[in-house]
Amino acid sequence: MKKKWEVRYFVTAVASVPVYKVYSKTETYRQATKPGWGTVEWYSAADGYKNPVARDRSDKTQQLCCDEDCSADLYTKNGGYFGIHAYEEIDTKEMPKQAECAAIILSDSCGLTFWAEDFSQIHIFVSYDENGLIDTYRVEYGDSPVYDGEVEISFDDLYQRAEDDWKETYRAELPGTVEYQFKQEADKLAQEAGETWMNAEEREQFRRVCHKIDGIKSAWDFLCAMPLLEHDYDKKIIGAARKFKKCFNFAQYEKPQEAARREELMEDYKKYEFATEDTDTTEPGAEQTAKPVEAEAASATGADNTAAETGKRGQPGEQKTEQKAGGGAGPPPPSR
């Protein structure tokens, strides 16, 4: 049975770009030139050229346009060329017919696709980075110069991955990829935290949660971040990350201007009070719970009022009171 297409990949530091070698001229020509097949669509002035429309020859305002992330190069048998690119007018009268094409090269958000009567005329040029990953790439037809730093490779030289590896987990094993860097960072964080129970996927979640916690700069950030974390990640992972990052409650992030709204936000704040029992990794003798958030708020509010009444703001005693209340001076002390 004749193959319909084959796929290989340009593996760069940040992405794996698929390259499709297609054996059907009809399929490739349709994808390049026919509305609804991926590259071009008809648009009308009736709606400001915003949405694709069906072809209506009575509508003289209709234009055939190329999607902004697509392009197509049509090479004809007589040595001619017709380009289809975003933001350029497509002259359908000059567009070559399918029978006239000798090669077609497409580019879109899914990668690159090419067909040719003679595949030996398709040339792939790449340059490599210090990790051996592809840095730049291009696919050309016919005679084309090789630029400085480039080498020509064949389609079969490109990376071939397992068809069922849709998660692209192989990239985490290739030095230089962002996935490899993330994996190294995730392993290091989990080791520093002593969370040896995590598998690779859980360690990556742990890394992401830690980064999101690092982004919390105020009590409001804390309030916004916690529901999103609970929606996206496992509770056990969140608990481990909060313990490692000492992310106990809103009080440690609270800014002075937020203190005035403390009572208003109390119902939301106390929902995300942290307790280390949420994880199974609490060591004997370690802090078991943070002070109840209501008591923290009451203590902080009382300290503010007392200092205001006695006129002792800025004195060493007041600083001690503020720190005990947990008002932005780090996590509150453990309960006794």
Q: Which helix or strand (DSSP H or E) is residue 25 part of?
A: helix 25-33
Provide the pLDDT for residue 166.
67
Question: Is pLDDT above 80 for 246?
Answer: yes
Average pLDDT of the residues of the chain:
82
CB contact burial 6-20 (16+ within 10 A = b; e otherwise): ebbbbbbbeebbebb
Query: Mean pLDDT across the stretch 18-46?
Result: 94
Decide which of 43 and 311 is more confident: 43
Helix (H, G, I), strand (E, B) or coil at 11: strand
pLDDT tens profile 199-225:
999 999 999 999 999 999 998 899 889
pLDDT tens profile 140-182:
999 999 999 999 999 999 998 866 666 778 899 999 999 999 9
Indicate the pTM of the whole model. Answer: 0.71
Residues 6+ apart with CB under 8 A from 82: 73, 74, 76, 94, 95, 96
Nearest to 9 by CA among 151, 110, 85: 110
Decide which of 242 and 257 is more confident: 242
pLDDT tens profile 274-313:
543 444 444 333 343 334 444 444 444 444 444 334 343 4
Decide which of 322 and 37 is more confident: 37
**Domain ranges across the chain:** 5-161, 178-325
Provide the pLDDT for residue 274.
56
